[in-house]
Amino acid sequence: MNSWQITRFASPLELRCTAEPEPTGSQVLVRIERSGVCHSDLHIWSGFFDLGGGKRFEVSQRMSLPFTLGHEIVGEVIGLGPEAEGVEVGTKGIVHPWIGCGECKACRSGEELRCYAPRTIGTRRDGGYSDRVLVPHGRYIVPYGGLDPALAATLACSGLTAYSALRKLPPLDDEDSVLLIGAGGVGLACIGLARAMLPARIVVAEVSEAKRNAALAQGAHEAVDGSGPEGRTRVVAAAGGKPPRAVIDFVGSPETMALALEAVDVGGTVVAVGLFGGELAISTALLPLRQATIRGSYVGSLAELRDLVALMQAREVKTVPVATRPMAEVNAILHDLEAGRVVGRCVMVP
């Protein structure tokens, strides 16, 4: 099989040819048809996450090189281990990459993201920047039916991340508004889903004018620049003069999190999703006085991916622009993403 691998952090990925893996136990082998490029791949490629205050999480602590990135995978099952179940050769589906050990209490209750021994495809195990991938069990293959395969690939991470964040919001009605901060790939995916799932007004805060226009095209009711001292004022005006009941921060910088906490209504909820990094001082009196809830949301569960696919099949959902490019351009694609030149998502064909 041919894989584009990290052989040294922050250096161009290398095309390496290795023997096709033989599925063992419950494993299934998937021939990759589409493979999305995610912003978080840039963090892994660079070798660290910025935790703020000069602290870094070195990804080299948890992976050995060479390593194959990629966790937005769509493909066809071409090989079965002797104990494989749930799929057959020829089954086409989205690979759910957020996989735990399968044995601990969290995994047994379907909350694999709480597992302490994750086997995530593309961040812990070799992933989708390849033409083959091994998946530990057939249940992680989610058939996508008539959906476009490139779009289906993006559901595994950006779509699922947006969907799971929306599921963490309090109940909202048509007098409420929700603020989405950031109109990158995940933020844009969230707008269409929010329109399909919520009656609330959707306000987007985004510094880039091009991305604000993309957000409006995606169905946002309003899109404003939320930066600077007037940011909150512009957000509240766009929300109809009333602070938003809920905020989802898809950026996760100190500035965007400060905006989220300043803008959210009393008793409101802030869902933190973005992994930009940094740190923020929070007034300890602010949380009780404003009865605020801050919660983190990281990707989503297998059950949520199945629900998301069912929603996409049942409802008209405006989806992100997806550009399809050959996998051989992967290094250029990563640079484009790093430079902010990608609007929406980029999905590769091996």
Q: Tell me which residues touch Zn ion (CB under 5 A).
A: 38, 40, 100-101, 104, 107, 115, 157
- C-beta of 83: minimal distance to Zn ion in Å? 19
- C-beta of 115: minimal distance to Zn ion in Å? 3
- C-beta of 85: minimal distance to Zn ion in Å? 19
What DSSP letter does each residue of 94-150 carry, written as one string?
EE------SSSHHHHTT-GGG-SS---BTTTB--SSBSEEEES-GGGEE--TTS-HH
Q: Are 141 and 126 a contacting pair, CB within 8 Å?
A: no
Residue 347's DSSP bridge partners are: 36, 324
Closest to Zn ion by CB, 290 vs 325, is: 325
- C-beta of 99: minimal distance to Zn ion in Å? 9
Closest to Zn ion by CB, 104 vs 147, is: 104
Q: Are 135 and 27 a contacting pair, CB within 8 Å?
A: yes
For residue 114, give both structure tokens.
């709480």
Closest to Zn ion by CB, 36 vs 231, is: 36
State how far the Cα of 61 lies from the Cα of 81, in Å rounded to an integer.
30
For residue 38, give both structure tokens.
């995610």
Closest to Zn ion by CB, 107 vs 204, is: 107
- C-beta of 184: minimal distance to Zn ion in Å? 11
Closest to Zn ion by CB, 40 vs 68, is: 40
- C-beta of 274: minimal distance to Zn ion in Å? 12
Closest to Zn ion by CB, 33 vs 41, is: 41
* Phi (first) and psi of residue 223, to 5 degrees: -140, 125
What DSSP letter does each residue of 176-216 carry, written as one string?
-EEEEE--SHHHHHHHHHHHHH--SEEEEE-S-HHHHHHHH
